[in-house]
Amino acid sequence: RAITSLEIGMQAPERSAIADTGKGGRILLVDDRQSSYERLATILAAEHTIDVEPNPTEALFHAAEGNYDLLIVSLDLNNFDGLRLCSQARSLERTRHVPILAIAEPENSTRLLRGLEIGVNDYLLRPIDKTELLARARTQIRRRRYTDHLRDNVQNSIEMAITDALTGLHNRRYMESHLATLAEQAATRGKPLALMILDIDYFKSINDNYGHDAGDDVLREFAVRVRKSIRGIDLACRYGGEEFVIVMPETDLHVAGMVAERLRRSIAGEPFAIHKGAKRIEVTISIGLTTLEHKGEAVADVLKRADTALYRAKHDGRNRVVS
Ligand code: GH3
Ligand code: MG
Ligand code: MG
Ligand code: MG
C-alpha cells in the first residue's frame, strides 16, 4: 500500500485537471418525462456521455455504482422523489462529492430552494435553454474534477509525511505516533504486543565496498522482504538509516520469536541483488525482540528493552535474534 502511494506522490502534478474544459463528463440524468429527458439527453450528448434513469430509486443505485461526474435531477418527479434522491446522494459515501444540478418547473421552485439547502449545487428552471444547460453542466464537472485533484493532493501529502521515501515503509514519526495507541489497545484488550528492532550487520562496509547506491538497493530489497514476512495488522517502519522496527499486535514472545528467526534466515539465506554489477551481496541482520510487559508501560521503555536486546545480539556475534 505504502509503495503505491509513494509512486502517486512522486508523479508530476497534473495540470490537466486545472486546465479542464468540463467536457467529456459522465452524466446521469434522472427525469421521468420522456419528452423532457429525450431533449436534454440530446443536448448534453454533444459534449458528454449521458445515462438516463426515470426511476429515482434505481438512479441512486446507478449513481453509487457508476462513477458519474454530474447528476442532473428533475425535481418535478412525483412525491418529492427528486428531493429525496438529492438528499440520499448527499449522504452516501460513494456519491457525496458528485455535483447535482437540479431542474424544475417554475411552479416547483420551492422544491429548488429546499434542494439548495440539502446540497444541490446549481439549478435551472424549465423551459431549459440549451446553451445554459451545457454551460452549467461544464462548470459543475470542471469544479468536480478540480476538487478531486485537490483531494488527491492532500491525500498524497499526508501519505508522504508518514512514509519513508527510500523504502516505502512507514517512517519513524508515524511509528512513534501509533505505537502508544497500539500498546494501549493491547493492554485494554488483554492481548500481547511484540516489538522488534532490526539492524543490518556491518552495513557501513556494504557502502564502503559497493557504494552508497548499492547500500540503498539493499535497504529497498530488505524492506520488500520485511513486508512479505509480516501480516497486514503489523506495523513496519524504517526507524533510522539501516534500522527498522516491526510492531506486532496480538503476538506473544514465542510467535514473534519465530517470525524474527524466519526473517533473519530469509535475509542471510538469499544474497541481495544490486542494480550495478552482477554480484550478489551477503547480508545479515541482528534483531532485538521484546513484548509489552504490563498495562500502561511507557512505549519508550519497550523500545529501550528491544534496543538492549539488539545490542546483545550484536555483541554476541550478529546474525541472530535476542529477546
Ligand atoms: P553494525 O553491525 O554494528 O550495525 O555495523 P554497521 O556498519 O551496520 O553500523 P553503523 O551504525 O556503524 O553504520 C550504519 C551505516 O549506515 C552508516 C551510514 O552511512 C549508513 N546509512 C545510513 N542511512 C543510509 C542510507 O539511506 N543509505 C545508505 N546507502 N547508507 C546509509
Ligand atoms: Mg550500528
Ligand atoms: Mg548496522
Ligand atoms: Mg544501526
Q: How far is CA 296 from the centre of its chain?
A: 31
The one catalytic residue among 47, 242, 250, 297: 242
- The residue to mutate among 164, 242, 243, 264, having the most atoms of ligand 1 within 8 angstroms of its beta carbon, is 242
- For ligand 1, atom 15, name the residue with the nearest CA: 204
The two beta strands, 243-249 and 193-200, are antiparallel
Q: Is 7 exposed, middle or buried (0-12, 13-18, 19+ CB in 10 A)?
A: exposed
pLDDT at 20: 85
- Cα of 218 from ligand 4 centre, angstroms: 14
- For ligand 1, atom 2, name the residue with the nearest CA: 201
- Cα of 217 from ligand 2 centre, angstroms: 19
* Residue-level pLDDT, tens digit, the chain, 323 residues: 333 333 444 444 444 445 689 999 999 999 999 999 999 999 999 999 999 999 999 999 999 999 999 999 999 988 779 999 999 999 999 999 999 999 999 999 999 999 999 999 999 999 999 999 999 999 999 999 999 999 999 999 999 999 999 999 999 999 998 999 999 999 999 999 999 999 999 999 999 999 999 999 999 999 999 999 999 999 999 999 999 999 999 999 999 999 999 999 999 999 999 887 778 999 999 999 999 998 889 999 999 999 999 999 999 999 999 99
C-alpha closest to that of 90 among 73, 110, 109: 73
Q: Quote the ipTM score.
A: 0.97
C-alpha closest to that of 30 among 75, 74, 79, 87: 74
Looking at residue 13, its amino acid is P
- Cα of 242 from ligand 1 centre, angstroms: 5
pLDDT tens digit sequence for 277-287: 778 999 999 99
**Mean per-residue pLDDT over the chain, rounded:** 92
- For ligand 1, atom 30, name the residue with the nearest CA: 215
Check: pTM over 0.80? Answer yes or no: no
* Cβ atoms 96, 125 nearer than 8 A: no
pLDDT at 118: 95
pLDDT at 19: 65
pLDDT at 292: 96
- The residue to mutate among 204, 209, 311, having the most atoms of ligand 1 within 8 angstroms of its beta carbon, is 204
C-alpha cell at 43: 443536448
C-alpha closest to that of 5 among 219, 173, 152: 152
Q: Please say if 159 is a catalytic residue.
A: no
- Cα of 105 from ligand 2 centre, angstroms: 76
Q: Give the three-state DSSP class for 35.
A: helix
